[in-house]
C-alpha cells in the first residue's frame, strides 16, 4: 500500500494553477491569489482513496528552473494545466511541458500525466478536439479533464483523477515494442 500521493501542477503562467488549488481548498473561487499556493496536505480520511495527498503548485515568477526540476522528479503525478481559451497554452503542452517532464523523470518510473483544461466557463466549445490527438500520441497521459476554478466545475474530480492515476494506473503492463 502506498504511503502518500504527491500531485504537482505545472503549465504556462496565468492558466489558473493557483486558483484551482485554492478553489479546491476553500470551495469558492478566490478573486485574488498569490503566485504560488503553499503546499497543502489533505489527510487520508477526507480523500476518496484514503491516502494522504500533497498538492504542490508551481510558479515561474517565484521559482527557479532548478526548483521546478526538483519538484518534477519528486511528483507521483503531474497535472499539466492549460487554459481552454488560450491556444498558446495548449501548444506549450507538447512543445515544452511534456519534453521537460520526460527529461526530469526517471526513464523506468512512469509518472502519469493529466491534461487539465481550465477556464471552461469562458468558452462554449470544448478543447477536446485539439487534446485528443495529444492523448493518443503520449501514453504517459492518463486522462484529461476540462474544469473551471471559477465555477468550481470538475475541481474535486480533477484531484480524484490525479490520485487515481497513481493508485490505479491504467497504463500498459508491458510495452509491446520492448518484448523480445
Ligand atoms: P502563475 O502563478 O503566474 O503561473 O499563474 P496561475 O497559473 O497560478 O494562474 P492564477 O491562478 O494566478 O490565475 C490567473 C488569472 O486567471 C487570475 O486572474 C484568475 O482569477 C483567473 N482564473 C483562474 N481560473 C479561472 C477560471 O476557471 N475561469 C476564469 N474565468 N478565470 C480564471
Ligand atoms: Mg500561480
Q: Pull the grid cell for residue 124.
A: 462554449
Which atom of ligand 1 is nearest to 12's Cα?
4
Structure-derived torsion over alpha carbons of residues 122, 128, 133, 137, reported in degrees to the nearest 10: 90
Q: What does 71-84 look like in DSSP terms, one character per residue? A: HHHH-SEEEEEEET
Q: How far is CA 17 from the centre of its chain?
A: 9
Rounded CA gap, 158 and 61, in Å? 24
Residue 30 Cα: closest atom of ligand 1:
20
Cell of 25: 481548498
- What is the gyration radius of the CA atoms in the chain, in angstroms? 16
Instruction: Give the neighbor-by-neighbor strand order of the sheet with 53-56.
Output: 40-42, 53-56, 5-11, 77-83, 113-118, 141-146
The ligand minimizing its distance to the Cα of 13 is: 1
Query: DSSP assignment of 84-142, as one string?
Result: TT-HHHHHHIIIIIHHHHHHTS-TTS---EEEEEE-GGG-SS-SHHHHHHHHHH-TTEE
ipTM associated with this complex: 0.99
pTM of the predicted protein model: 0.94
At residue 177, the pLDDT reads 55
Q: What is the mean pLDDT of the chain?
A: 93
> Rounded to the nearest whole angstrom, what is the distance from the C-alpha of residue 109 to the centroid of ligand 1?
31
Does the C-beta of 122 come closer than 6 Å to ligand 1?
yes
Segment 41-70 shows an average pLDDT of: 95
* Better-scored residue on pLDDT, 144 or 177: 144
- Average pLDDT value for residue range 47-68: 95
- Cα dihedral 136/137/140/142 (nearest 10): -20
Q: pLDDT tens digits for 62-118? A: 999 999 999 999 999 999 999 999 999 999 999 999 999 999 998 888 899 999 999
Q: How far apart are CA 24 and CA 13, in angstroms?
A: 19
DSSP letter at 153 equals: B
Q: What is the pLDDT of residue 173?
A: 52
CA–centroid distance, 179 to ligand 2, in Å, is 43
Q: What is the pLDDT of residues 5-25, one digit of tens each?
A: 999 999 999 999 999 999 999
Q: Which residues is 82 bridged to in the sheet? A: 117
What confidence score (pLDDT) does residue 179 get? 45
How large is the average pLDDT for residues 27-54?
94
In the prediction, which pLDDT does 1 show? 66
Residue 34, ligand 1, Cβ within 6 A: no
Which cell numbers in the block locate residue 64?
A: 527557479
Tell whether ligand 1 has an atom less than 6 A from the beta carbon of residue 10.
Answer: no
Amino acid at each position: 500500500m502506498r504511503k502518500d500521493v504527491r500531485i504537482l501542477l505545472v503549465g504556462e503562467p496565468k492558466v489558473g494553477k493557483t486558483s484551482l488549488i485554492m478553489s479546491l481548498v476553500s470551495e469558492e473561487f478566490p478573486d485574488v491569489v498569490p503566485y504560488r499556493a503553499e503546499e497543502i496536505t489533505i489527510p487520508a480520511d477526507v480523500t476518496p482513496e484514503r491516502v494522504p495527498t500533497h498538492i504542490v503548485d508551481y510558479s515561474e515568477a517565484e521559482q527557479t528552473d532548478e526548483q521546478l526540476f526538483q519538484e518534477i522528479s519528486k511528483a507521483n503525478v503531474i497535472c499539466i494545466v492549460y487554459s481552454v481559451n488560450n491556444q498558446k497554452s495548449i501548444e506549450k503542452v507538447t512543445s515544452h511541458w511534456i519534453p521537460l517532464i520526460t527529461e526530469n523523470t526517471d526513464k523506468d518510473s512512469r509518472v502519469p500525466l493529466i491534461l487539465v483544461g481550465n477556464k471552461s466557463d469562458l468558452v462554449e466549445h470544448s478543447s477536446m478536439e485539439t487534446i485528443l490527438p495529444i492523448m493518443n500520441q503520449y501514453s504517459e497521459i492518463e486522462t484529461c479533464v476540462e474544469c473551471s476554478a471559477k465555477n468550481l466545475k470538475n475541481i474535486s474530480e480533477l484531484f480524484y483523477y490525479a490520485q487515481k492515476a497513481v493508485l490505479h494506473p491504467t497504463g500498459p503492463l508491458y510495452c509491446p515494442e520492448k518484448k523480445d
